[in-house]
Amino acid sequence: MHSLTEENYLKAIYRLSQKGLDKITPTALAEEMSINAASVVDMIRKLSDKKLINYDKQKGAKLTAQGNKIALDIVRKHRLWEVFLLEKLGYSWDVVHEIAEQLEHIKHEELADRLDKFLGYPEYDPHGDPIPNAKGEIPSIANTLLSEIEVGKTCQVTAVKDTSAVFLQYLEQLSIKIGTKIKVLEKIPFDASMAVQIEKDVKTTVSKKFAESLFVS
Amino acid sequence: MHSLTEENYLKAIYRLSQKGLDKITPTALAEEMSINAASVVDMIRKLSDKKLINYDKQKGAKLTAQGNKIALDIVRKHRLWEVFLLEKLGYSWDVVHEIAEQLEHIKHEELADRLDKFLGYPEYDPHGDPIPNAKGEIPSIANTLLSEIEVGKTCQVTAVKDTSAVFLQYLEQLSIKIGTKIKVLEKIPFDASMAVQIEKDVKTTVSKKFAESLFVS
DNA sequence: TAAATAAATTAGATAGCCCTAATTTAATTC
DNA sequence: GAATTAAATTAGGGCTATCTAATTTATTTA
Ligand SMILES: [Mn+2]
Ligand SMILES: [Mn+2]
Ligand SMILES: [Mn+2]
Ligand SMILES: [Mn+2]
């Protein structure tokens, strides 16, 4: 059996590889997990011994089929619990993550599937991230950023790239949620900020950082 | 902050004091938690230092007001999660306990209250145990055993004293659940077993051990 | 390429929670 | 009351996951 800590490492490796990192180094993992690189090296050895990852100084760390299965299962549970917390318990989307971080480690054979059924087989979590199904298949992922949309075009929010509480609260304040329509009115060359119109009413200007933190389609 | 392990100790002390033990000794706790007495002594010191219990060689271990509050909170969460697992996820009453044993340690300020509301403020868990409310008040507890019911009388199951999976599965097999009516037909002096009638139909004989494992009213 | 910097690894510790074995203290029993 | 048995405690470790400080190995940069 694998520990909560091992699960968190596997999930972090999964996350980094999803991010498109070519090489997952101890330093990158240490940064990602806010942990010391020396500790990471220890755990890399442990996970390698357990055949959950392959580690190679040249290629970095890679999940094995087995490791990937575990990581995907944790991600599935994490996102399902987030849906539960938001839809059933009425939590807001800037708090569900930290609680799901604990809930994802609850172990019981049928738990994910039962939760999935109870929630009506949701495809995306509250932040727009895709939920792997029971077979480990993942719905397609958004990859266009708001910053890439041309002036005059209207797009629709599909997911948040940055899931920090501060950003989510700011979105809340602007009444932006998954599905919200945003029209790009102007791009300011000076600092790459954007003038946008949110749904019908509100016009505002958002920063480059902001425009690079929202996925749209 | 207190750890998962500390919470389990506090809960065990709470459980033993509810059982009416006059003196909670290291040995009793060790037995209750399937742990070595030497380990218990370590933790008793730790919990004493944290003022969560008072320990006295003469009087044994006693929860302080603060310790009691934590224990009660864990018990509340445990029982609420059991209701959730049974009613919302469709688990049977012989499995909910082990999963709730993990879920009870999920930490978030409003979690218990939100769950409570979502479940419709249940008063009892699937085994008939009372659920402390937000103020820490506990509904009255069943204390009459089936074995104490006189011949000819009919009673109703209010709770199970033994919550082991084997017992719960046996009850399932006999179609006995919380609320089931049982009539005592005969008491056999030889081994203190009892002939009973379950609801209208089924007549069967149950052992002394069985009759002392069911609470009725 | 040699020097400087950065990354990876090793060495050595610590904290939490558990164990076995030995010892001390208390409770029984003869 | 002395001997025996049981309970509580101490001593000494083990394992996991973390850290800091040193060292080794790679990568940059001048
Ligand atoms: Mn999340
Ligand atoms: Mn986690
Ligand atoms: Mn239970
Ligand atoms: Mn527990």
Between CA A15 and CA A162 the distance in angstroms is 13
Give chain A's domains with CATH numbers: 4-63 (1.10.10.10), 76-140 (1.10.10.10), 144-216 (2.30.30.90)
pLDDT tens for each residue of A157-209:
999 999 999 999 999 999 999 999 999 999 999 999 999 999 988 999 999 99
Q: Is the distance between the Cβ of A5 and the closest atom of strand D smaller than 7 Å?
A: yes
For residue B102, the chain A residues in CB contact (below 8 A) are 105-108
SS (H, E, C) B141-153: CCCEEHHHCCCCC
Distances (CA, A) of B21 to A130, A187, B24, B163: 52, 74, 7, 19
Mean pLDDT of A110-129: 98
Contact yes or no for A118 and B88 at CB 8 A: yes
Between CA B112 and CA B104 the distance in angstroms is 9
Band of pLDDT at residue B93, cut at 50, 70 and 90: very high
Distance B215 CA to D5 C1' (A): 37
Strand partners, A205: A195
Q: Is the distance between the Cβ of A41 and the closest atom of strand D smaller than 7 Å?
A: no
Contact yes or no for A107 and B102 at CB 8 A: yes
Mutation pick from A77, A105, A110, A113 vs chain B, by most beta carbons of B within 10 Å, is A110
- Please give, rounded to a whole number of angstroms, the shortest distance from the CA of B28 to a CA of chain A: 29
- Please give, rounded to a whole number of angstroms, the shortest distance from the CA of A113 to a CA of chain B: 9
Tell me if chain A has a CB within 8 Å of the CB of B3: no
Task: Please name the member of B95, B103, B118 whose beta carbon is closest to the beta carbon of A106.
Answer: B103
pLDDT tens for each residue of A7-47:
999 999 999 999 999 899 999 999 999 999 999 999 999 99
Distance A41 CA to C12 C1' (A): 16
Mean pLDDT of B96-108: 98
The phi and psi torsions of B170 (rounded to 5 degrees) equal -65, -40
pLDDT tens for each residue of B12-65:
999 999 999 989 999 999 999 999 999 999 999 999 999 999 999 999 999 999
Contact yes or no for B90 and A115 at CB 8 A: no
Strands of A214-216's sheet, edge to edge?
Answer: A144-145, A214-216, A154-160, A181-188, A193-198, A202-206
Mean pLDDT of chain A: 96
Position B143 scores a pLDDT of: 86
Cα dihedral B176, B178, B179, B180, rounded to 10, equals 10
Contact call for residues A54 and A71 (beta carbons, < 8 A): no
| Alpha-carbon torsion (A217, A74, A84, B71), positive or negative | negative
Residue by residue, DSSP assigns chain A as ---HHHHHHHHHHHHHHHTT-S-B-HHHHHHHHT--HHHHHHHHHHHHHTTSEEEETTTEEEE-HHHHHHHHHHHHHHHHHHHHHHHTT---TTTHHHHHHHHTT---TTHHHHHHHHTT--SB-TTSPBPP-TTS-------EEGGGSPTT-EEEEEEES---HHHHHHHHHTT--TT-EEEEEEEETTTTEEEEEETTTEEEEE-HHHHTSEEE-
3-class SS at B178?
Answer: coil
Between CA B96 and CA B165 the distance in angstroms is 10
Angle at A78 between CA A35 and CA A157, to 5 degrees: 100
